[in-house]
């Protein structure tokens, strides 16, 4: 029953979030601010993690495929497909759930306990739409960009690893990242990223919007936002993969 209660309240909140905006110009400025806050400010951590993910995938593949019968270019192919299909969408999504999700939950939760949300409601403003809608649109727009950047940086990190360690000849790696490329994989990864962005934003906003108590409860709401967002990302990762790649 508790789960049904939260599901029902979540859907009611989403109904308020996606109500018709009252002033489109105000929302547009909010979206631009959220793009910077939730997306561009995460670019550094996405790049750093992607470089190391690409390097680790490449080196582990090289050390585990030390068989003269296996073509070396398959290591580049493995790095490319691993980054595109899984790491740049799911792993980066989990990282953003920790950074962006906790940020959203704590921001909205603080506004709730300081009665700023109540003040917005008294002034006749749809607080759910005003606070959450720009965040949803901003992450849906900017997270796929981060995803594509992560793909390129991760593949580049793999190339950097083979150059610095001589695990395989760099030309073989370059052949591998071009071999049997399937453009649909990028579409698949971007679709996953959009869904994950929606999950991260709305679930985190839900936990922050309905927080009760003081600063301690805001911290707990942030933790719940990260945990539940991560679980849903992993669940939907399985469902989307089964639906789109099966």
Per-residue pLDDT of 60-87, as tens digits, reads: 988 887 777 778 889 999 999 999 999 9
pLDDT at site 171 = 92
Mean pLDDT throughout 192-215? 93
* Contact indicator for 77, 177 with CB cutoff of 8 Å: yes
User: What is the pTM for the complete model shown?
Assistant: 0.93
Cα dihedral 224/205/233/244 (nearest 10): 160
CB of 29 closer than 8 Å to CB of 137: no
Give the Å distances, CA to CA, from 19 to 22, 125, 210, 221. Answer: 9, 12, 19, 25
The dihedral region occupied by 200, where left means phi > 0, alpha psi between -120 and 50, and beta the remainder, is alpha
pLDDT tens for residues 212-232?
A: 888 888 989 999 999 999 999
- Give Cα 210 to chain centroid, integer Å: 23
Predicted pLDDT of residue 1:
58
Kindly report, residue by residue over 13-29, the tens digit of the pLDDT: 999 988 877 677 778 88
Confidence of residue 115 (pLDDT cuts 50, 70, 90): confident
Residue 31, pLDDT above cutoff 70: yes
- Check residues 130 and 70 and name the one with the higher pLDDT: 130
What does the pLDDT read at residue 63? 86
Contacts by residues 73-76 (CB-CB < 8 Å, ≥ 24 positions apart): 73/172, 73/173, 73/175, 73/176, 73/179, 74/176, 75/162, 75/167, 75/168, 75/172, 75/173, 75/176, 76/158, 76/172, 76/173, 76/174, 76/175, 76/176, 76/177, 76/179
Tell me the percentage of the chain whose pLDDT exceeds 70. 97
Quick: pLDDT tens for 138-191.
999 999 999 999 999 999 999 999 999 888 889 999 999 999 889 999 999 999
């Amino acid at each position: 029953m508790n789960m049904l209660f939260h599901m029902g309240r979540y859907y009611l909140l989403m109904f308020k979030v996606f109500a018709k905006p009252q002033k489109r110009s105000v929302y547009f400025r909010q979206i631009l601010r959220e793009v910077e806050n939730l997306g561009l400010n995460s670019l550094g951590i996405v790049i750093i993690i992607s470089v190391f993910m690409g390097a680790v995938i490449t080196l582990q593949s090289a050390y585990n495929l030390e068989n003269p019968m296996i073509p070396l270019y398959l290591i580049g192919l493995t790095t490319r497909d691993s980054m595109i299909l899984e790491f740049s969408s799911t792993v980066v999504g989990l990282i953003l759930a920790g950074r962006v999700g906790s940020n959203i939950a704590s921001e909205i939760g603080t506004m709730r306990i300081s009665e700023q949300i109540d003040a917005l409601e008294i002034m006749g403003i749809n607080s759910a739409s005003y606070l959450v809608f720009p965040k949803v649109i901003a992450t849906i727009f900017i997270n796929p960009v981060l995803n594509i950047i992560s793909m390129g940086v991760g593949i580049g990190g793999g190339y950097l690893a083979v150059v610095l360690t001589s695990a395989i000849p760099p030309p073989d790696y370059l052949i591998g990242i071009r071999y049997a490329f399937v453009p649909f994989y990028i579409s698949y990864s971007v679709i996953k990223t959009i869904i994950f962005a929606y999950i991260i934003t709305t679930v985190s906003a839900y936990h922050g919007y309905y927080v009760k108590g003081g600063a301690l409860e805001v911290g707990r709401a942030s933790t719940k936002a990260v945990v539940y967002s991560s679980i849903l990302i992993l669940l939907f990762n399985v469902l989307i993969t089964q639906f789109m790649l099966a």
